[in-house]
Structure formats: structure tokens, C-alpha cells
């Protein structure tokens, strides 16, 4: 195939011409990934900005790809592109302060009850703790969706590049909440998250799996489960908040 010859040329010579050909060949990956991620983001986030960041990820992918690992370049590149876009979103600090405050309020309530009850709190318990109705709680969960929608990242394993692991660098949104990876250690953090995901109610577990591992959009998940996109957003936010509270509880033990 022609593209194989271009790869061979680039690997042997690292020529700019070969590199440019590869970037053109795989440019559609950037657009596809950016558009898929933008579906779940506020309209204020520009798709063009996501594409610009994704291009940097594609460049890095071309420059660091190692064919010896026997991994498809498309798989390797998609992770690099997604990672570059996530980095840009964090740098933009695009979530309004009022939404972050709601997220912290919910987080404290989930963590407090998790610590007191020794388990994840139910909706009515959280609502009672906050002095609001369950309906108002559901509205809050929808509001804080931007702070949770990118909290769980996919991470390429160090070997085959095709398996997926759960990586929590930004799972605790409140800066005063501490860094879970530093406090618990990477392996302990993964263990806690695995335990939490397993213990989630079936629907929450399914939403996390479909969004973070199968890469479905919230709208697509809603169609699969027969519920509204807004309801999927609420369920996802709730699951992430439970994971955060479990980490906080473990750090405080």
C-alpha cells in the first residue's frame, strides 16, 4: 500500500515531506475525534479550537509511533489526539465558577455521607443533606455535568496501546480536595475506582462503560437505554461524584 511506503520513508529518513503526507492522510481522525467530544460539551466550546489542539496530538502521534509494537496507528493516534484535546479543555478553564461551586457542594455532600454511612448515598439521602428535593438534586446533577464529563480519561497501556485503563488525574475537582494519585498511589487509586465501579447500580455502571470505554455519546447512550440525554447526563454525574467521594473517604482513613 502507498501509505506503508510513506511510513517506511518517514521511519528511515524522518523527512518533513513524508511527515506532511502522513498528517494529511490521518487528518480526518482529528476532525472525527473533536466532533465526537464536542457533542457532550457546551456550545461555547469551539469545535475548531478542539481540532487545532487535536492536530498537535496527531503530530505527536506521528513523531512517536513505533510500528514494532504492532499497534494500529489509528488506535495510537486517537488516544494522542484525545489527550491533547483534554489538555486544552483543562487549560481553557471553560466551566463557569457557579457550576464549579455547585459541583463542590455536591462533592462535599457525597463525601460526608459516604464517610458516615460507609457506602454510597442514595438520592433521597443526598437531597435531605442539602435540604432540597430529589427533583432539585437531579437538576443540580445536570448542571454540574461539564465538571464530570471529562473526569475519567482513557489511558493507553504501556505495551500494546490497544487496551484501556481508568486514569484519574482530575477526578477530584476541588483543588483543596487533594491529589488522589499522590495521596493513595496510582495502584491504590485504580483499586478504589475498580471497586467503586463494580458497586455502582447497574444503570450507572452501564453509562460509565458506554461513555468511557465504548465511546458512545450521551445521546447515543440515551437511545440505547431508552432514556433522555439529560437523564444520561445526570446518571453520569452521579457516578463520577460517587467515585470522587470514595477516593476522599479512602484518603481520610
2-92, CATH topology level: Rna Polymerase Sigma Factor; Chain: A (1.10.1740)
Q: Nine-digit cell at 117?
A: 454511612
CA 230 to chain centre: 18
In the chain, % helix, strand, coil (3-state, to 5) comes to 70, 5, 25
Four-way CATH pick for 100-252: 2.60.120, 1.20.140, 1.10.3470, 3.30.70: 1.20.140
For residue 79, the model assigns a pLDDT of: 86
Residues 42-88: tens digit of each pLDDT = 777 889 999 999 999 999 999 999 888 878 999 899 989 988 988 88
Instruction: Indicate if 100-252 has the same CATH topology as 2-92.
Output: no
Instruction: Say which range, 163-172, 173-182, 206-215, 219-228, has the weakest mean pLDDT.
Output: 163-172
pLDDT in tens, 79-125: 899 889 888 887 777 778 888 899 889 989 998 998 899 888 999 99
The predicted model gives 15-36 an average pLDDT of: 93
Contact present, 164 and 190 (Cβ < 8 Å)? no
CA distances from 3 to 19, 66, 163 (A): 11, 15, 25
Residue of 60 and 146 predicted with greater confidence:
60
Mean pLDDT of 127-145: 94
- State residue 151's pLDDT score: 53
Q: Among residues 102, 84, 87, which one has the least CA distance to residue 174? A: 102
Residue 223 has pLDDT above 80, yes or no: yes
Query: When comparing pLDDT for 35 and 134, which is higher?
Result: 134
Please give the residue that has the higher pLDDT: either 36 or 202: 202
Cell of residue 163, nine digits = 487496551
Residue spans of the domains in the chain: they are 2-92, 100-252
* Per-residue confidence (pLDDT) for residue 90, from 0 to 100: 77
pLDDT tens per residue across span 156-169: 233 333 333 334 43
The residue length of the chain stands at 253
Quick one: cell of 250?
Answer: 479512602
Q: What burial class does residue 22 get, using C-beta atoms within 10 Å of its C-beta: 0-12 exposed, 13-18 middle, 19+ buried?
A: buried
Amino acid at each position: 500500500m502507498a501509505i506503508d511506503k510513506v511510513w517506511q520513508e518517514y521511519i528511515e529518513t524522518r523527512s518533513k515531506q513524508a511527515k506532511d503526507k502522513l498528517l494529511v492522510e490521518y487528518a480526518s481522525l482529528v476532525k472525527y475525534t473533536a466532533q465526537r467530544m464536542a457533542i457532550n460539551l457546551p456550545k461555547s466550546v469551539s469545535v475548531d479550537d478542539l481540532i487545532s489542539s487535536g492536530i498537535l496530538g496527531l503530530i505527536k502521534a506521528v513523531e512517536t509511533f513505533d510500528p514494532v509494537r504492532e499497534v494500529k496507528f489509528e488506535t495510537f493516534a486517537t488516544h494522542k489526539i484525545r489527550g491533547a484535546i483534554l489538555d486544552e479543555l483543562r487549560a481553557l478553564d471553560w466551566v463557569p465558577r457557579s457550576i464549579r461551586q455547585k459541583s463542590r457542594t455536591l462533592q462535599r455532600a457525597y463525601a460526608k455521607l459516604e464517610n458516615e454511612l460507609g457506602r454510597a448515598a442514595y438520592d433521597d439521602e443526598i437531597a435531605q443533606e442539602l435540604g432540597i428535593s430529589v427533583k432539585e438534586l437531579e437538576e443540580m446533577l445536570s448542571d454540574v455535568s461539564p465538571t464530570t464529563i471529562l473526569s475519567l480519561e482513557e489511558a493507553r497501556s504501556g505495551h500494546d496501546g490497544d487496551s484501556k485503563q481508568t486514569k484519574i488525574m482530575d477526578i477530584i475537582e476541588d483543588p483543596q480536595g487533594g491529589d488522589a494519585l499522590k495521596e493513595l498511589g496510582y495502584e491504590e487509586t485504580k483499586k478504589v475506582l475498580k471497586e467503586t465501579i463494580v458497586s455502582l447500580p447497574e444503570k450507572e455502571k452501564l453509562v460509565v462503560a458506554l461513555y468511557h470505554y465504548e465511546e458512545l455519546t450521551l445521546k447515543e447512550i440515551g437511545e440505547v437505554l431508552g432514556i433522555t440525554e439529560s437523564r444520561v447526563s445526570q446518571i453520569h454525574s452521579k457516578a463520577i461524584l460517587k467515585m470522587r467521594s470514595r477516593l476522599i473517604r479512602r484518603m481520610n482513613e
